[in-house]
Amino acid sequence: MSYKLFIPGPVEVSPSVYKAMTTPVFGHRSPDFVELYQSVQPRLQQLFFTGDPVYISTSSAWGVMEGALRNLTEKKVLNICSGAFSDKWHDVAKRCGKDAGAIKYDWGTPIDPEDVRRELSTGAYDTVTFIHNETSTGTMNPLAEIMAVVREFPEVISIVDSVSSFSVLKIPKDELGIDVLLTGSQKALALPPGMALFSASPRAHERAEKLADRGYYFDFLEFRKNHEKGMTPSTPVIPLIFGLRAKLEEIFEEGLDARFERHARLNAKVHAWIDRHGLETLPPRAFASKSLSCVKNLHEWDLPAIIAHLKEHYNCAIDAGYGKIKGKTFRISNMGDETDETMETLLRQLDETLAALGYTS
């Protein structure tokens, strides 16, 4: 049973990626693997806008999100919380036994850089975590402005999650001074789940060198040591790396600027649909995500009925809201390989579904 995914992750995977993933595997210490690993590195660095290494982790994003804390937080971490994933990061920091403070926002409220400055000015922190694009609330935080503030505190290592915004728009890691930028495979990159990518600055590695309890599986220094040989610390998910190589070819064939422009254009189409129905995004429009739309269910539509109808009649899926805003919001993804045609088709099918269910708006 397969149906087309417009949920904000996992998203639709292209046939070419699935096909690449059927390439027979080889030993992860073989020259063939080294060649594969090194072949994706230059394009990954281009996509991360970085001169630092880009590491491949066989885990979902959470592995690296937790690992980064274990590698980098010596004194205290500031977790900026404004949605399901960023709230959870605070919980994970505590579960790792880290001293953790938080700035807490209502879901859908963007991060205010002034709050970050006030909190970091206490001098209590040596690390900060935040999410560029909160997938649960469809909120895109002002990354450049937040990073400008974080850079005022040279002792603070920044860990930024770009799981649902990576390659959707330009995130110039080095220029912004982001120490650790991480993403996962199954959202903005439109690969199947099971792999995370991250790039870490020299500063981040220096901090890791000072920490004793980094563990093994997510030890940044193990990643660096193996990276230098064109390898990963443990046996990686080789089929996903084949998929990644195929995806990078597609991305660079389209061109980065064209890819960024396509996401903005498709996102604007969803926004036009939202306006046409007298609806609103959960965050203020200026902070609405470019890769998905989290829409307030202002007309109290029966979302499970809409979703069941879409699946039954059109073989596709949107999302009925995440966590505590389930039912109060719904989400439509435009990330990955979507086109004008696929988004227009979805929005038309949504309209037909609304009509079929007797909603007139």
Ligand X SMILES: *Cc1c(COP(=O)(O)O)cnc(C)c1O
Footprint of ligand X (CB under 6 A): 9, 60-62, 85, 131, 135, 161, 163-164, 184, 187, 193
Q: Which is nearer to ligand X, 33 or 243 (CB)?
A: 243
Q: Which is nearer to ligand X, 53 or 184 (CB)?
A: 184
User: Nearest distance from residue 84's CB to ligand X, in Å?
Assistant: 8
170: left (phi over 0), alpha (psi -120 to 50) or beta: beta
Rounded-to-integer distance, Cα 130 and Cα 350, Å: 33
Going from the C-alpha of 310 to that of each of 41, 66, 136, 351, the distances in angstroms are 40, 36, 21, 10
Q: Which is nearer to ligand X, 164 or 329 (CB)?
A: 164
User: Nearest distance from residue 60's CB to ligand X, in Å?
Assistant: 3
User: Nearest distance from residue 86's CB to ligand X, in Å?
Assistant: 8
**Could you tell me if 44 and 248 are in contact, meaning their C-beta atoms sit under 8 angstroms apart?**
yes
User: Nearest distance from residue 65's CB to ligand X, in Å?
Assistant: 6
User: Nearest distance from residue 88's CB to ligand X, in Å?
Assistant: 8
Q: Which is nearer to ligand X, 59 or 353 (CB)?
A: 59
**Given the structure tokens 């600055």, which residue do they identify?**
201
Q: Which is nearer to ligand X, 172 or 193 (CB)?
A: 193
Query: Which of 111, 108, 47, 52 is CA-nearest to residue 260?
Result: 47
Rounded-to-integer distance, Cα 132 and Cα 140, Å: 6
**Could you tell me if 89 and 81 are in contact, meaning their C-beta atoms sit under 8 angstroms apart?**
yes
Q: Which is nearer to ligand X, 125 or 322 (CB)?
A: 322
Helix (H) or strand (E) holding 131: strand 127-131
User: Nearest distance from residue 131's CB to ligand X, in Å?
Assistant: 5
Rounded-to-integer distance, Cα 232 and Cα 217, Å: 10
